[in-house]
Amino acid sequence: MRKLLLSVGCVIAFASCGTEKSLYSWYDSQDATYIYTKKGTDELLTKAMAQYEKVINKQKGVRKTVPPGVNAEYGYLLVKAGKKEEGLALLKAEIKAYPESETFISRIIKQLEK
């Protein structure tokens, strides 16, 4: 009987140690952006932008939505790459998805539209 209770206790203890699924899928976008920021080459910019596209298009997290700040960061990279209209559209998408970012993002948009 003791062995049975001990076995059941171990099973319950190990079952409660499962991992939780993340709210968002990041796909190493932070690392790609950090490396691009440090070295600043066109090749690294392309890699960072590819990571952001993956984050936006292949969301596997619990929320199934783009993480906060990703649209804004990717939009800014697009503007730096010469794709101003696409970048501004993503900055506006950030405001739509996360209205609390409007104060900050609208300032960036105003500066970029000049």
Is-contact 67 39, C-beta < 8 A? no
What confidence score (pLDDT) does residue 114 get?
83
Q: How far is it, in rounded angstroms, from Cα 9 to Cα 16?
A: 11
Write the pLDDT tens digit of every residue in 42-93: 999 999 999 999 999 998 889 889 999 999 999 999 999 999 999 999 999 9
Residue with tokens 């709210």: 23
When the pLDDT of each residue in the chain is averaged and rounded to a whole number, the result is 88
What is the arithmetic mean of pLDDT over 80-108? 96
pTM of the model: 0.78
Q: Looking at this protein, which amino acid is placed at residue 41?
A: T
Q: How far is it, in rounded angstroms, from Cα 70 to Cα 91?
A: 9
